[in-house]
Amino acid sequence: CRAIVNGDLSSLGELKYMVSLYDHQSGRGHICGGSIFNEHWVITAGHCAFNEEPDNFWIIAGVIYLPDRINRRVYPVAYFVLQDDYKPEVSIRTRQGIDRVIKDPVGDIALVR
């Protein structure tokens, strides 16, 4: 089970605004969490979208267990919008797909449509 580092389990319906940024092409699966901003936009960390191909991603909502294919809602990602001042050198992605922050991120926020 993958979870937020030092996070707690939630119950269904507790965090209705939370989603998964899910890479369905490479087999990496869940990459990052996000928050629903409105019916068209999700907010996530900039390092989750940097140098990524939007067509490879889905937004998965409505479940607390990602393999739940019955209740989940899947939305294709059209594009990412990174902050103009995002500095990619502050984070790295290891071969295992785990992000490590090297120093305080700068502009580390992205919109997902």
Q: Flag whether 48 is in a domain.
A: yes
CA angle 45, 51, 56 (to 5 degrees): 90
Q: How many domains does the chain have?
A: 1
Helix H or strand E segment including 32: strand 29-36
3-state DSSP call for residue 76? strand
- For position 1, what pLDDT does the model report? 46
11-43 pLDDT per residue, tens = 888 889 999 999 999 989 999 999 999 999 999
66 found inside a domain: yes
pTM of the model: 0.80
Q: Which domain holds residue 71?
A: 18-112
Residue 8 lies in a domain: no
The domain spanning residue 81 has which CATH number? 2.40.10.10
Could you report the per-residue pLDDT of 37-51, keeping only the tens digit for each?
A: 999 999 999 989 999
